[in-house]
Structure 1
Amino acid sequence: MAQVQATKFKNPVVNWIDSRLPIFTMLDHEYNHYPMPRNVNYLWAFGAIAGIMLVIMIATGLFLAMQYSSHTSLAFDSVERIMRDVNYGWLIRYVHANGASMFFIAVYIHMFRGLYYGSYKAPREILWILGVIIFLVMMGTAFMGYVLPWGQMSFWGATVITNLFSAFPIVGDPIVTLLWGGFSVDNPTLNRFFALHFLLPFVLLGLVILHTAALHVCGSNNPLGIDPKGPQDTVPFNPYVTVKDGFAVVIFLIIYASFVFFMPNYMGHPDNYIPANPLVTPAHIVPEWYFLPFYAMLRAIPDKLGGVLAMFGSIALLAFLPWLDRSKVRSCKFRPIYRQFFWILALDALVLGYAGAMPAEGAWLIIARIGTAYYFFHFLVLLPVLGKLERPSPLPNSISESVLKGGGGIAAGAHAKPMEKA
């Protein structure tokens, strides 16, 4: 008969469970003693913030689903009933609606941090690809959630976006019919989107668990982009990183709460407070702000199929970054030329977002085309070429040498072993 392995926990209940199912040992190893580079900054907290936002979105979504009616004649009124008649329904709905924007803010900062510090490079390729998949699933979940209130922007947004698939030859029309459940956006469409919007967050949760597992296999990157060379370069996850992450989470939640309580509709569209009407087209159909850069790319190309391919390709392209970037140096801190182009890319994303909110005509159409061209030029041409031609600055010998340089932390560095040249 198998022997029950003894564990180290003082609590007898925890000890009894862990000796039979070592979940507490795993958590203790992964979130207590897990070594983190000692120089990580507050930008590394946005992964934890995104995880907390996912939990908030799932929890509030479950409560909203209890009161929501997924029928075209009832959906809009059921949302109004949640706002007016359900106890604290207004709060749950505003937390959920603004939470989507806050979730994307955290994820976009998390992604751009990865781009700046080269977190997609070996050995983190699978980690990065999982992140791109998470981003795609997030976008699908958010789009379907935006349709559920069944306001004017919900209905026409669903009509425009689902129609994009008709651009694909042969398979396009069957895909659109499958999404609609008929020959137009109607009750079957709403039922499908509600079911998928309820399911996909749990798929997202599973992907996040895989993303975290992959992170703990290859270890966290750091602002220097060099690997830890020993215990002198790392600190335990708890309490050093948990305290830093906890502080960042509190500040983020304060900003989040300020939107929920003082300007809950700031990031929404007023037309979505008008019931959906298939006979009245809004003057300007725009998606939520976090889709706007990709919407600008879609409209920038005159050909429908070309616009759809550019929009989806701009996201798929991110999955190939580990192979497009040929530089052996991860962090932009040591790549002075590429660092300038990174900030141009960030500005390009902001300009595309603003152009996506404007009518697709005149100067805004030209700006969107230039922004789209630069986006693809940056990843397909600039990144591979600079990786070969740029001469990066010298890297420090180790993380601890860089952190302790200039005084301070003498006790921590006193017993450090001689360090190899990076």
Structure 2
Amino acid sequence: FASVEYIMRDVPWGWLIRYMHSTGASAFFVVVYLHMFRGLIYGSYRKPRELIWIFGCAIFLCLMAEAFMGYLLPWGQMSYWGAQVIVNLFAAIPFVGPDLALLIRGDYVVSDATLNRFFSFHVIAVPLVLLGLVVAHLIALHEVGSNNPDGIEIKANRGPDGHPVDGIPSHPYYTVHDIFGVVVFLTIFSAVIFFAPEMGGYFLEYNNFIPADSLKTPNHIAPVWYFTPFYSMLRAITSEMMYALIACVVGAAVFGVWKARLPSIFKGAIVVAAVVVCALMLSIDAKFWGVVVMGGAVIILFFLPWLDHSPVRSIRYRPSWNKYLYGVFVVNFVVLAYLGVQPPSPLGERVSQVGTLFYFGFFLLMPWWSRLGEFKPVPDRVTFAAH
């Protein structure tokens, strides 16, 4: 904490470095969420780009680890208690949980040992993993080429010179296009740094300007805004919610046995698996299942290429109601993010439970709903409208 205050007050331009770092973290997640949403609506995860999507999701997972470990380092009240809450979640894992939490912390509470190891991971280990994943992401992209808003494979239409007729050189077209985007981004980024670096307590929480005190728990502990949708799902899993999840498991098993064209042995396996899962849900504490749901909300993104059974890639040629469905999905995600920042309340809990069910329903039911409706014919070549 004293180091951060020294940088802010005594190091020349230290305040600028600190605000660039904190605002940059939030800006990075804004860009990542927009990038993932663009891939979602234009089908950039579909064959042959599954590997690009998987590497991208792995980057997202590493970014979350990087942000969480870096969040402890300022050693403010919210840093300390946020780390305490998240690490304690691992203790909910049956049998190995308490020992695993002790291993992560390096002590019985969040202490100097935790701070040192998190610093090492934040500065060296995770960035190296991130760098490797970014390189793999770019290599996979170079191998198959980028997608387009029409979801058309431009390599299928080649000119006499052997190059795709709808392909354009990276320079100057993409470079100028991206430079314009970077300028707009940096303008907004600079405005936040110089005029609203705390962003109303969302980028830098006011509680984090108070030194960490292990004897004084803040009234409300919440993670940074980019974690709050998943934190909201974690809080949504209560003992009451478990019965709704059990009903979902039973419903999925009945639907699978009734509708799926599978051999009897597989249908029997579905029934047995459903019974085992329901028994575990009844016997293991809801806190553990909250951790499972929070982790599952991220892990399910890895399986998106195989969940989407739509005959077309891009949302441009899907049924018009798909746009509304994706719109509701975005609104639901934003509402979950907002509720994750707010103190717990009965109404907020109920809304977050409905939002959690919708989030998972969107993905788990995708093999069914993605094939419904009337699809528009996909053109042979990329469409272009002059601005």
Is the TM-score greater than 0.5? yes
1:253 aligns to what?
186
Shift of 1:388: 2.7
Q: Where does 1:173-322 land on structure 2 (aligned, <5 Å)?
A: 173-199=98-124, 200-228=126-154, 229-230=157-158, 231-266=164-199, 267-302=203-238, 303-322=286-305
SS at match of 2:168: strand
Q: Which residue of 2 aligns with 1:365?
A: 349
TM-score calculated relative to the size of structure 1: 0.76
Alignment partner, residue 8 of structure 1:
none
Out of 369, 387, 398, the residue aligned to residue 381 of structure 2 is: 398
Tell me the CA shift for residue 328 of structure 1.
2.2
What is the CA–CA distance in structure 2 between the aligned matches of 1:330 and 1:390, rounded to whole Å?
14
Aligned residue among 4, 8, 22 for 1:97 = 22
Query: Which residue pairs with 2:242 in the alignment?
Result: none
CA contact (8 A) 1:293 1:350 kept: yes
The unaligned stretches of length 5 or more in structure 2 are: 159-163, 239-285
Q: Deviations over 1:325-366 (max 9, x none)?
A: 111211011112322211111111001001111122211111
Secondary structure of the 2:91 match is: helix
| Counterpart Cα distance in 2 of 1:120 and 1:360 | 36
2:322 aligns with 338
SS at match of 1:221: coil
CA shift for structure 1 position 187: 0.7
Q: Specify the SS of the correspondent of 1:91.
A: helix
Aligned partner (choices 312, 333, 358) of residue 349 of structure 1: 333
SS at match of 1:234: coil
* 3-state SS in 1 of match to 2:384: helix
Greater length-normalized contact order (CA 8 Å, ≥ 6 residues apart) = 2
SS of the residue 1:378 aligns to: helix
1:397 to partner: Cα distance: 2.1
Using the TM superposition, give the Cα deviation of residue 387 of structure 1 relative to its aligned residue in structure 2, in angstroms: 2.5
How many positions carry a matched residue from both structures? 328
Q: Is the 8 A contact 1:338 1:386 kept in 2?
A: no
Q: Is the 8 A contact 1:165 1:172 kept in 2?
A: yes
Q: Which amino acid in structure 1 is aligned with residue 153 of structure 2?
A: D
Once residues 93 and 350 of structure 2 are traced to their aligned partners in structure 1, the CA distance between those partners, rounded to angstroms, is 25
- Among residues 55, 78, 86, which one is paired with 2:3 in the alignment? 78
Residue 391 of structure 1, CA deviation? 2.6
Compute the RMSD of aligned alpha carbons: 1.2
Matches within 5 A, 1:134-173: 134-173=59-98
The match for 2:277 is none
Query: C-alpha offsets along residues 1-43 of structure 1, whole Å, 9 cap, x if unaligned?
Result: xxxxxxxxxxxxxxxxxxxxxxxxxxxxxxxxxxxxxxxxxxx
Equivalent-residue separation in structure 2 for 1:155 and 1:368 (angstroms)? 25
Report if aligned partners of 2:311, 2:371 keep a CA contact under 8 Å in 1: no
Amino acid at match of 1:237: S
Structure 1 residue ranges without an equivalent (≥5): 1-75, 410-422
CA drift of 1:176 comes to: 0.5
Percent identity between the two aligned chains: 50
Amino acid at match of 2:80: F
1:119 alignment partner, SS class? coil
